[in-house]
A and B are shown apart, each in its own frame.
Chain A
Amino acid sequence: MLGAALSLGAQAAFAQEKKEAAKEVNTAMCTGCHGIPGYKTAFPEVYHVPKIGGQQAAYIEAALKAYRAGQRPHPSMRGIAGNMSDEEIAAYAKYYGGAK
């Protein structure tokens, strides 16, 4: 019972944290690919786009910076990350990262 209450509290805190983080990001440009379960890329190769919800925040940050620096090949992600500042990248990492 106590465990359940604690877990509910943790869930509420998580939801609140994501709500706060969401104010700093425009996820519209992410959900078109990453928010659709089972979605596949159409170009340049066909494969499932990675799940990013719940991924490690520092990894998401590193991935976006790698796209921005041209160290990862996907053209759309290079385009999207290429326009982001360090602060914006940190905000997206915070929004998508973390345990759920």
Chain B
Amino acid sequence: MKALALLVLLAFSSASSTVLARGNADAGKTKASQVCAACHGADGAKPSAPDQPILAGQHYDYLVKSLKDYKSGKRSNPIMQGFAAQLSEKDMEDLAAWFAAQKSPLSDRR
């Protein structure tokens, strides 16, 4: 019975996790509260200014790529470059896993 409960739990947790996410969302949550939350909101759904993006529910791999591009300077934004420069690749994956899994107003509107 216990084994069955565990199996059900495992099935649920893998179904709700983001496709291909390699990061650790719990570690990302902690990091996000220190680095990202002031501007993007703790769950990434309520940015503090209108020109800052909603991150909640955005695709995991797009978030990782954005952070890498900020760090490398491929994507030019002085504010984000400063934050991304402090992040390791693992930090980026953890943060992306956290934000990608949050409740989101974003959609693939046509």
Indicate if the CB atoms of A48 and B53 lie closer than 8 Å.
Answer: no
Give bound CA distance, A62 to B79, whole Å: 14
Query: Is A100 part of the contact surface with B, judged by Cβ < 8 Å?
Result: yes
Q: Which of A48, A53, A56 contacts B109 (CB 8 A)?
A: A53
Binds A, one of B4-12, B28-36, B58-66: B58-66
Chain A interface, >50% SS class: loop
Interface positions, chain A 2-61, Cβ under 8 Å from B, are 27, 30-31, 34-37, 39, 45, 47-59, 61
What size tier do the contact residues of chain B reach? 20 to 34
Asked if A47 meets B108 with Cβ closer than 8 Å, knowing A59-B50, A66-B76, the reply is no
Q: How far is the CB of A15 from chain B (nearest CB, A)?
A: 12
Q: A35-B109, A36-B108, A100-B105 are in contact. Are A50 and B58 (CB under 8 A)?
A: yes
Nearest residue (CB) in A for B108 is A37
CB-CB < 8 A to B13: which residues of A? none
Contacts A55-B53, A56-B53, A72-B75 given; indicate if A47 touches B61 (C-beta within 8 A): yes
Does A53 contact B108, Cβ atoms closer than 8 Å? yes
With beta carbons under 8 angstroms apart, the residue of B52, B104, B109 that contacts A59 is: B52
Given A34-B108, A73-B74, decide whether A59 and B61 contact each other with a Cβ distance below 8 A. no
The residues of B that contact A56 with a CB separation of less than 8 Å are 47, 50-54
In B49-90, the 8 Å CB interface with A consists of 49-54, 57-62, 64-65, 69, 74-77
